[in-house]
Amino acid sequence: MSDKTTLKYTPEHEWLAIDGDVVTVGITDFAAEKLGDVVFVELPAVDSDLASGTVVGEIESTKSVGELFAPVNGSVTEANDAVVDDPSLVNSDPFGEGWLIKVRFTELPSNLLSWDEYSALVGE
Amino acid sequence: MPELFSERHIGTDAAAQARMLAAVGYDTVDALVEAAVPESIHVEDLANSSIPAAASEREALAELRALADQNTVRTSMIGLGYYGTFTPAVIKRNVLENPSWYTAYTPYQPEISQGRLEALINFQTMVTDLTGLDTANASMLDEGTAVVEGMLLARRASKLTTNVFVVDADAFPQTKALLSSRAEAVGIELVEVDLAGGATLPDAAFGVFVQYPGASGRVWNPASVLASVKDQGGLAVAAADLLALALITSPGELGADIAVGTSQRLGVPMGFGGPHAGYMAVRKGLERQLPGRLVGVSQDAAGHPAYRLTLQTREQHIRREKATSNICTAQVLLAVMASMYAVYHGPAGIRRIAKEVAGQAALLARFLTEDGLSLVHNTYFDTLQVLVPGQAREVVARAADAGINLWLVDEDTVSVSVDETTTLHDIGAVAHAFGGPASRDVAFVGGSIRGLPDDLLRASEYLTHPVFNTHHSETAMMRYLKQLADRDYALDRGMIPLGSCTMKLNAATEMEAITWPEFAALHPFAPEADVRGYLGLIDQLEGWLAEVTGYDSVSLQPNAGSQGELAGLLAIRGYHRANGDLDRTICLIPSSAHGTNAASAVLAGMKVVVVACDDMGNVDLDDLRAKIAQHAENLAALMITYPSTHGVYEHEVTAITQAVHDAGGQVYVDGANLNALLGYARFGDFGGDVSHLNLHKTFCIPHGGGGPGVGPVAAKAHLAPFLPGHPMAQRDEHGAFTHAGGPISAAPYGSPSILPISWAYVRMMGAEGLKQATGAAVLAANYIAVRLREHFPVLYTGDNGLVAHECILDLRPLKEATGVTVDDVAKRLVDYGFHAPTMSFPVAGTLMVEPTESEDLTEIERFIDAMIAIKGEADAIGSGTWPANDNPLVHAPHTAQSVIEGEWEHAYTREQAVYPLKSLVRTKYWPPVRRVDNAYGDRNLVCACPPPEAFE
């Protein structure tokens, strides 16, 4: 499990773990809690190109459908097949085994949030 | 003083109403409703009402009998997707005429719906078996709309960017008409190709549709056509005849991705067009794209298998404008009937019936060729096209004289379809109408299937599950139906206080006429002379509905509320386009609206813009004005529900409608809540241009466990020309107007066989009775609000602190204080012998209660007592008497097994679990399963009958 305080966040409740030019993306525990029991995850294909801000996947629970927004421009280097096979990982370990995609990017957006800023946003 | 039906329909009598009024603080029902409904929209009683004074039950039936007598029941051999069938009497009596089946609600609460969920999973299994595909849904509205949904699914699932969809030239004409009107609105280009004739396909298409067997009766192999479209990345859709599939290779085996059609001929009467259950099945990988409702297997809290509606997140109430379809209500009662036809006959019986049909067709083919006539095609299952150059009309007329309706294809061609009910005598009479001898020497000739091509004879098995091979004696069938019905909670057990669903009485007299042959046995395309009684009934009902809503013209064609909505929006679209306003495509929808509104708008080619609501749940007028200003040039419509989905009469409704009109937009008023308005105000008077009504809510058509519905669309004169027409309608005129829009249903009048229900309701209530029903409904809701207010906050109120016909109980403070959830309360109500109110709509964490006018005060008090008792139980959890994880709420509902088996190790007693009130001892409803695990079912998708061992 990643250290939440060192990650970057988006207002769409995604977390970003940045390692060189590759970013690992997942949804936050707050988002997972709000969604409830996740039952289906649809992720973009490896090698597909993403445009920042567009919907590239879905996280579906028994009562709602969350959208996965691309946080950066880039191309998908890896998609977490384990979470496709067992969507409950998003609930049980959102910052760890419940990660969703890895994306190779050229530039990070300027409006990413720190843990403190994100916590303030969701009122924790 | 003659007996008044209204006194049977309305549950509270004068004495009860007086007690309730005292609690609410008004002297009369009228005073209460007039205080609740904003004064600006009050309507006076009409001086020249077209609604006659209330008839007694006897008088109404006598009038229906007279209307029925104006219909002529000829043997229908018209075909085109509608066939004669024998409804097994055991199914007619125990399902169609049994309130345990027809008064149930949609099975959203799985714990009290296991019976019909099992029946529906039988339906899904039957469809997947016969079509050779992997997953089927629990019914579509009819075949034509199912084909449209198949086209839309193909477009969603195909990766291609082309907007071309290929349509087989040999498809049913009504299906082609529907495809054409629906495709145009969403920018799909249809290309019609004679596929069986070998014409070439266009270069690129996202999908192809074939009719199998063809409309002409031809049985051809579409495998190579399907393959070539799929090779290019498109999807293949086949409409297949379920009875034919008992003998010919399934569409799944031929390469179809999607199979659609109707189950009408499996024991459901034609009914002049409906209702019947359409179906859709898809190959693996497409199940999350399926429109409509899907039953799956999950498990309950004790780990036992339990059925539930699965993948609910595809539906409009969650996905709104991103929903996969606007289909909401299905055709559950009819799907149950069709599934039970398969259960009763089994695979051998279905195959026998199919062979008899094919044999009759072969016999007729032999007679006709012996008499020197030519058939258009030499392969067939049940339908023959016969060449009679220049004499087609004469042949059809001669057959009619002999009591048989044939189908005139053109001046030179007549089509004949045989079915399960066709007799040797009919075959002889048809051959005679074509000019053959008046009598022939016919020895035994059944069973030949020589019209079917050898390469398409079915080899694969179907209906192999034990449920289709067990209940073949009538005793076994009767008991199976009883066993399933006993698992369910319907109106015959108690109140179903579902907000926005209006679960009122479906009176036995109202139901009486629907099974009369004069209403049940007519083909939707029968000649006008045969259906005069129906057309008379439809005229009257259209007129009455127009009058009570303040509109000028009504179409009864939409066979569900969602379809009425779509028809209304398409009328608005047609109107704007006729005025040259091609860019008016923005549809404003308040955030509180039902999700179907948004889904329908998208399917009408509109773009949804959401308008904010204020803290009281009303449309935020400032935001509305801002959105109107922002989109003024492109404003097509505003959709509002009145009273609002929050159960409140919005005070500012005329200001809202005026603002939209000033900007050139049209106002769509969703009639879902008409039960709170009828007789006191009219949509058309406060600015509505068009509305749909739900006859299955306000006008007593039973919910059938999730359908049938009827969703008439009513409009002002300027929109009337754009209401749904139909190429095969017996008449285009509706009163003073001609409806010239595209069709919205497969049949010209939608589901006419259930219209006598609403006709009888209006006829027996009269205008005065309808108004009294509204008053009683509003009184009951306000009484519950007043009585429960100190226990649960009532979330929204309108003028004078009053609610409309329903009230929202806010359970969020309770959760905050005790941890008890809406689910806990809803499931605990089952232990108390109730169907839960609507959960978390329109506001998460709340219950919306709609008692309707039909419940008596005793039942209303029983509900109030149960809610107060449950509040007490929750408080006991909050105060620590019971642990948060071991109390009667969190473990609700309790089955008999759960309190009998093994040692009792809970913090509460067995009595507290199942008999929280002493009065339950004699009347207990026992749920068959514990709380159903929703996540398990969605993660482990199983949508066909599980093996019997699963239940051991």
Q: Tell me which amino acid residue B885 is.
A: N
- CA geometry: angle B584, B585, B588, nearest 5 deg: 105
For residue B578, the surrounding DSSP H or E stretch is helix B561-578
**CA of B873, closest CA in chain A: separation in Å?**
26
Q: Report the residue of chain A nearest B314, measured CA to CA.
A: A65
**CA of A99, closest CA in chain B: separation in Å?**
18
**Which residues on chain B are in Cβ contact (under 8 Å) with A83?**
none
Lowest mean pLDDT among A52-56, B6-10, B448-452, B603-607: B448-452
Lowest mean pLDDT among B4-13, B120-129, B175-184, B285-294: B285-294
Per-residue tokens: B878: 């909050």
Whether B645 contacts B619, CB under 8 Å: no
Among all chains, which residue has been given the structure tokens 């749940």? B617
In eight-state DSSP terms, residue B278 is E
Peptide bond preceding B88: is omega within 30 degrees of 0, i.e. cis?
no
What would the mean pLDDT of B502-521 be, rounded to a whole number?
A: 98
What's the confidence (pLDDT) of residue B440?
A: 84
Chain segment B256-315, per-residue pLDDT in tens: 999 999 999 999 999 999 999 999 999 999 998 999 999 999 999 999 999 999 988 777
Per-residue tokens: B200: 């070439």
Dihedrals phi, psi of B662, to nearest 5 degrees: -60, -30
In chain B the domains, ranked by start, together with CATH numbers, are 5-69+550-765 (3.40.640.10), 96-341 (3.40.640.10), 781-939 (3.90.1150.10)
Among all chains, which residue has been given the structure tokens 């040692």? B903
Does the pLDDT of residue B899 top 80, yes or no? yes
How many contacts does A have with B, using Cβ atoms within 8 A?
Answer: 32
Interface list for chain B against chain A, based on CB atoms closer than 8 Å: 288, 312-313, 318-319, 322, 934-935, 938-939
Bridge partner list, A75:
A49, A104
What's the confidence (pLDDT) of residue B446?
A: 57
Confidence of residue A1 (pLDDT cuts 50, 70, 90): low
Tell me how far CA of residue A60 lies from CA of A10, B56, B719, B939, in angstroms.
19, 53, 40, 10
Confidence of residue B46 (pLDDT cuts 50, 70, 90): confident
Whether B766 contacts B760, CB under 8 Å: no
Q: Report the residue of chain A nearest B323, measured CA to CA.
A: A65
Whether B167 contacts B190, CB under 8 Å: yes
What's the confidence (pLDDT) of residue B923?
A: 94
What's the confidence (pLDDT) of residue B208?
A: 98
d(CA B459, CA B468): 19
Top-confidence residue, B75 or B288 = B75
Whether B870 contacts B835, CB under 8 Å: no
Chain segment A46-84, per-residue pLDDT in tens: 999 999 999 999 999 888 888 999 999 999 999 999 999
What's the confidence (pLDDT) of residue B877?
A: 97
Whether B424 contacts B441, CB under 8 Å: no
Q: Which of B571, B873, B541 is nearest to B743 (CA)?
A: B571
> What percent of chain B stands above pLDDT 90?
90
What would the mean pLDDT of B75-97 be, rounded to a whole number?
A: 98
- pTM exceeding 0.90: yes
**Which residues on chain A are in Cβ contact (under 8 Å) with B288?**
40
What's the confidence (pLDDT) of residue A2?
A: 65
Does the pLDDT of residue B10 top 90, yes or no? yes
Largest distance between two CA atoms of chain A: 37
**Which residues on chain A are in Cβ contact (under 8 Å) with B322?**
65
What's the confidence (pLDDT) of residue B443?
A: 61
d(CA B523, CA B270): 6
Domain boundaries of chain A, sorted by first residue: 4-108
Does the pLDDT of residue B447 top 60, yes or no? no
Q: Which of B288, B319, B935 sits opposite A62 (nearest CB)?
A: B935
Overall fold of domain A4-108: OB fold (Dihydrolipoamide Acetyltransferase, E2P) (2.40.50)
Who's near B621: CB < 8 A, 6+ residues apart?
A: B652, B655, B656, B659
Per-residue tokens: B203: 């270069």
Q: Which of B288, B322, B938 sits opposite A62 (nearest CB)?
A: B938
**Which residues on chain A are in Cβ contact (under 8 Å) with B157?**
none
**CA of A36, closest CA in chain B: separation in Å?**
9
Does the pLDDT of residue B365 top 90, yes or no? yes
Is 0.85 exceeded by the ipTM? no
Among all chains, which residue has been given the structure tokens 């105000």? B681
In eight-state DSSP terms, residue B11 is S
Which of B311, B938, B940, B941 to probe by mutation at the A interface, max A CB count within 10 Å? B938
Dihedrals phi, psi of B842, to nearest 5 degrees: -85, 0
Whether B50 contacts B663, CB under 8 Å: no
Coil, strand or helix at B671: helix
- What DSSP letter does each residue of B396-422 carry, written as one string? HHHHHHTTEE-EEEETTEEEEE--TT-
What beta strand segments (E) does B83-162 contain?
A: 135-136
Which of A38, A39, A64 to probe by mutation at the B interface, max B CB count within 10 Å? A39
User: A40, B938: Cβ pair inside 8 Å?
Assistant: yes
What's the confidence (pLDDT) of residue B714?
A: 98
Lowest mean pLDDT among B265-274, B283-292, B685-694, B882-891: B283-292
**CA of A62, closest CA in chain B: separation in Å?**
6
Whether B784 contacts B860, CB under 8 Å: yes
Please give the radius of gyration of chain B, using alpha carbons only, rounded to the nearest integer.
28
d(CA A30, CA A35): 9
What would the mean pLDDT of B919-943 be, rounded to a whole number?
A: 93
**Which residues on chain B are in Cβ contact (under 8 Å) with A57?**
none
Lowest mean pLDDT among A15-24, B880-889, B937-946: B937-946
Confidence of residue B615 (pLDDT cuts 50, 70, 90): confident
Among all chains, which residue has been given the structure tokens 């299937």? B449
3-state SS track over B824-840: HHHHHHHHCCCCCCEEC
**CA of A37, closest CA in chain B: separation in Å?**
6
Sheet order of strands, A101-105 included: A8-9, A14-19, A22-27, A101-105, A74-79, A49-50
Confidence of residue B1 (pLDDT cuts 50, 70, 90): low
Interstrand relation of B635-641 and B586-590 (parallel, antiparallel or unpaired) = parallel
Among all chains, which residue has been given the structure tokens 């051998």? B348
Q: Which of B319, B935, B939 sits opposite A65 (nearest CB)?
A: B319
Give me chain B's average pLDDT, please: 95
- Alpha helical stretches, state H, B579-609: 595-603
Per-residue tokens: B103: 């008064």
Q: Which of A60, A62, A88 sits opposite B934 (nearest CB)?
A: A62
Lowest mean pLDDT among B118-132, B159-173, B436-450, B920-934: B436-450
**CA of A47, closest CA in chain B: separation in Å?**
16
Who's near A32: CB < 8 A, 6+ residues apart?
A: A38, A90, A91, A94, A98
Per-residue tokens: A72: 């950066």
What's the confidence (pLDDT) of residue B796?
A: 87
Q: Report the residue of chain B nearest A40, measured CA to CA.
A: B939
What's the confidence (pLDDT) of residue A12?
A: 92
What's the confidence (pLDDT) of residue B269?
A: 98
What's the confidence (pLDDT) of residue B445?
A: 58
Confidence of residue B698 (pLDDT cuts 50, 70, 90): very high
**CA of A54, closest CA in chain B: separation in Å?**
15
CA-CA-CA-CA torsion sign (B670, B674, B680, B684): positive
d(CA B379, CA B728): 27
CB count, 10 Å around CB of B621? Answer: 16
Dihedrals phi, psi of B883, to nearest 5 degrees: -65, 155
Chain segment B541-592, per-residue pLDDT in tens: 999 999 999 999 999 999 999 999 999 999 999 999 999 999 999 999 999 8
What's the confidence (pLDDT) of residue B325?
A: 87
Does the pLDDT of residue B316 top 80, yes or no? no
Whether B192 contacts B741, CB under 8 Å: no
d(CA B207, CA B234): 5
What would the mean pLDDT of A12-39 be, rounded to a whole number?
A: 94
